[in-house]
Structure 1
């Protein structure tokens, strides 16, 4: 079975969970910024792994 971006999607889901649950906190802006940073890191990792995969397959 081939794994395709499982950790990146997991990190993205955690970031979105932080953003959604931030409304229940006393200071939601900290949670929103933290969630956005986690999502940003996961998108960067996703793009990096896709680039590596394209190079490996010779499609770039």
Structure 2
């Protein structure tokens, strides 16, 4: 996911995206805790996507 893609979305779409990413992060954390996660790099990707969405939301709020 690129930041340029996110800037074209509305605030409500960004909030929905953030909620889905947080749910995905929770699922990945649970898989990691139970040693069922094979691709540990997914945690990092989701965490950075969450940061991107939150950054764009802050920029739109100003």
The structure-2 alpha-carbon separation of the partners of 1:43 and 1:9, relative to structure 1 and needing over 3 Å to count, comes to: farther
TM-score relative to the length of structure 1: 0.55
2:42 aligned to which of 25, 34, 40: 34
- The correspondence of residues 1-60 of structure 1 with structure 2, limited to 5 A, is 3=12, 5-22=15-32, 23-25=34-36, 28=37, 30-31=39-40, 33-54=41-62
TM-score relative to the length of structure 2: 0.54
After superposing on structure 2, the runs of 4+ consecutive aligned residues of structure 1 that deviate more than 4 Å are none
Segments of 5+ residues of structure 1 without an aligned counterpart are: 55-60
RMSD of aligned alpha carbons? 2.5
Larger Rg: 1
Deviation at 1:29, TM superposition (A): 6.0
The number of equivalent residue pairs is 50
Task: State the structure with bigger RCO (CA 8 A, min sep 6), 1 or 2.
Answer: 2
